[in-house]
Structure 1
Amino acid sequence: MREVLMLVLWPLLLIQGYCVAQTNGRATVYLTGYTWSKNTQAVGYVRLRTGDIKSITLDGENQAAFKISKDHQLSIRPEKLKAGATYADVSIIVKTTSGEETSIFRIVKDDFIRNKVIAHRGAWKNTGATENSIAALNHAIALGCEGSEFDVHMSADSLPVINHDASIQGISIAKTNSSELLTMKLSNGESLPTLENYLKAGMMQNKTKLILEIKPSELGKEGSLALTHKIITLVEKLHAQAWVDYISFDYDVCKEVMKLAPYAHAAYLKGDKAPAELAADNLYGLDYHVSVLQKNPDWLTDAKNRKLTINVWTVNDKLVLDELLKQNVDFITTNEPELLLSLVKR
């Protein structure tokens, strides 16, 4: 009986232990912003997840291109960077009440597009690319979309991979080790993308944002939260904070993102919560199916009044796209990015 009980509990113990280890192992220093622009050279404030700041020192080869104010605001001197640089890494040494910590942050030139167009699973429908492939991401970038959305699950051995469904070719992602999953080919010949490879591909440019959907795990809530921890840890390891925004159908996942990464933009997908609740939990915005906002038209005004962003999915009809553009929503997720781009460029 004891052996049977351990077999049942062991996956949950692994997940819970992973969460604790990753939470305790992550850096305590973060920035409130990770970009600069021609008109905005203030990047963000240095903050701690726990403890108090005693002093801050800048270091690294780009040290001269940055400065820190008395209130811990990081700013950039673009003229000190190499000509044409689209990002610069800076090392920040923070002395706290409990010791000293050094963190490296990638500060990115904000050339990100603002045209409301979010390519759903990348640009695939009219390009011949496979949904959620790196090729679909590259097509979305080439088209000039504001963002490219993609879906993340986690293998049995805790590797985040890109796929919409919980299974691929009839095999459960959460119950299968990555060594087997990564042998699988997409219809366009690509291997199943890992999150790391997908992020690295997206970070080769600074025009299109990466809209990362954290999928609820078929293993339950613990699996979903373990995936959330794994994703945030990887994003920070790759210095990808400037590129990535987060969405999820799991409200606890959205709140966990904001707990782990207070600088992040997280939006909720399910559509069962009014804007007031999202604002109270410091979410970035709502990201609801068009039918939800058609049933609750007052939520548009309420969300704007609460400084929440509004994304609507998945809209492919020209008349509906036109109406949403008239309502001045912030983003529209679509399988027809070419069509929507033609409408916003009129």
Structure 2
Amino acid sequence: MVNLRVPLLNLLLALSLSYSSATAQANLSLSNYTFSPTKTTIGTVRVSGTVSQLKLKGNNADLFTLDKANQLIIKPKAAKASLPWYDLIVEGTNATGSVRDTFRIVNDDFIRNQVIAHRGAWKGTGTSENSIASLQQAIKLGCMGSEFDVHMSADSVLFVNHDAAIQGLPIEKTVSAELAKVKLSNGESLPTLEAYLTEGMKQNRTRLILEIKTSTMGKERSMALTERVVNTVHRLKAQAWVDYIAFDYDVCKKVKALDPDAKVAYLYGDKSPEQLAADHLYGLDYHFSILRKNEAWINDAQQRKLTVNVWTVNEKETLQWFLERHADFITTNEPELLLTLIAK
């Protein structure tokens, strides 16, 4: 175990913030990253700053078109092919030269049911929660999403774990070399965010529901974690797979500032649907007790084009209550049970 002193922690945090500030804002982005045979208009290529003369580059450039409004469109033949995704380079010019980014455009075979496996699907098989195996099991079951939690080590490496500490090690005060030695109950190493995303991106059926955990060390570090998370998602070209959730409302707004088209839902439960819609969030994701007390929020949210998720629901009666009220998603430790209920 390595517990770093406060001055060194502050230095590492400062370096993290410096890195994030330098890399957070991409010059090019997309409003959407998926296509289907019946939905060939993908989305808008967005530019930050002055970027002109956008062109498509790379091996897949001839499979797409870009119209005068910067709408990216996949050609019908490519959309009907069996490939799960295409990597596409978009290039433009600005005052300092060329600007380019590579986007992963994903065939939208994502499942549309209501089942989000909480920390992956771990309970039914006895594997470790928040493990690669629990993600694989959620995918195998056919869950719409697999939820997982992200913290940042003392030297700014992102790890997947629910609690702020694991096996006596406070994640935020321990360097990554020590955390890499941790073994989960199923024998896996403590997964990094990069490893988890890389595994999840091997398929295009189950979405990755990424919770940015609130830092125990204060708001500044929560913001640094948020920037690091969004940077990692973009670097790995995982935008089509990832939805974000957080208990800290400032974290939710920070994600939207970094990536305005990201799907972000709020967890704490103290904001009305009106407030979430005003801040352009994707949805609410509240504890079941809050939505049972404020049942009108379900319809109100959906009227405002917000999604309604509820956590963490494990009892059959409560699962049924939210199914009857048409919750968009239900986060559960019992995905097998919920899949059975929706199949009836």
Following TM superposition, by how much is the alpha carbon of 1:129 offset from its aligned partner in structure 2, in angstroms? 1.1
Residue 43 of structure 1 corresponds to: 42
Deviations 1:85-117 (A, max 9, x none): 110000000224664311000000000000010
Contact in 2 for aligned 1:62/1:81 (Cα 8 Å): no
Q: Where in structure 2 are there 5+ consecutive unaligned residues? A: none
Alpha-carbon distance change, 65 to 275 in structure 1, aligned in 2, over 3 angstroms: same
Contact in 2 for aligned 1:315/1:321 (Cα 8 Å): yes
TM-score for both structures, normalised by structure 2: 0.95
Alpha-carbon distance change, 8 to 168 in structure 1, aligned in 2, over 3 angstroms: closer
Query: How many residue pairs are counted as aligned between the two chains?
Result: 339
Cα distance between partner residues in 2 of 1:311 and 1:12: 36
Contact in 2 for aligned 1:117/1:147 (Cα 8 Å): yes
List aligned pairs for 1:1-346, cutoff 5 A. 11-12=9-10, 14-26=12-24, 27-48=26-47, 50-80=48-78, 83-96=81-94, 99-346=97-344
Alpha-carbon distance change, 90 to 149 in structure 1, aligned in 2, over 3 angstroms: same
SS of 1:30 mapped into structure 2: strand
Contact in 2 for aligned 1:51/1:97 (Cα 8 Å): no
Deviations 1:131-163 (A, max 9, x none): 000000000000000000000001101000010
Cα distance between partner residues in 2 of 1:76 and 1:244: 22
Following TM superposition, by how much is the alpha carbon of 1:9 offset from its aligned partner in structure 2, in angstroms? 5.9
Cα distance between partner residues in 2 of 1:248 and 1:112: 22
Letter of the structure 2 residue corresponding to residue 43 of structure 1:
I
SS of 1:174 mapped into structure 2: helix
Superposition CA RMSD, Å: 1.6
Cα distance between partner residues in 2 of 1:196 and 1:295: 38
Letter of the structure 1 residue corresponding to residue 33 of structure 2:
Y
Cα distance between partner residues in 1 of 2:251 and 2:14: 15
Moved more, 242-251 or 99-108: 99-108
Cα distance between partner residues in 1 of 2:53 and 2:278: 32
Following TM superposition, by how much is the alpha carbon of 1:281 offset from its aligned partner in structure 2, in angstroms? 1.0
Cα distance between partner residues in 1 of 2:213 and 2:123: 22
Deviations 1:243-266 (A, max 9, x none): 000001111111000001112101
Moved more, 89-98 or 195-204: 89-98
Contact in 2 for aligned 1:113/1:208 (Cα 8 Å): yes
Moved more, 78-87 or 106-115: 78-87
Contact in 2 for aligned 1:184/1:192 (Cα 8 Å): yes
Deviations 1:200-258 (A, max 9, x none): 00000000000000001111111111111111111111100000000011111110000
Deviations 1:37-58 (A, max 9, x none): 121011110112x324422100
TM-score for both structures, normalised by structure 1: 0.94
Letter of the structure 2 residue corresponding to residue 90 of structure 1:
L
Moved more, 260-269 or 72-81: 72-81
Alpha-carbon distance change, 282 to 16 in structure 1, aligned in 2, over 3 angstroms: farther
Q: Where in structure 1 are there 5+ consecutive unaligned residues? A: 1-6
Cα distance between partner residues in 2 of 1:287 and 1:56: 38
Contact in 1 for aligned 2:23/2:231 (Cα 8 Å): no
Cα distance between partner residues in 2 of 1:92 and 1:319: 50
- Percentage identity across paired residues of the two chains: 55
Moved more, 128-137 or 296-305: 296-305
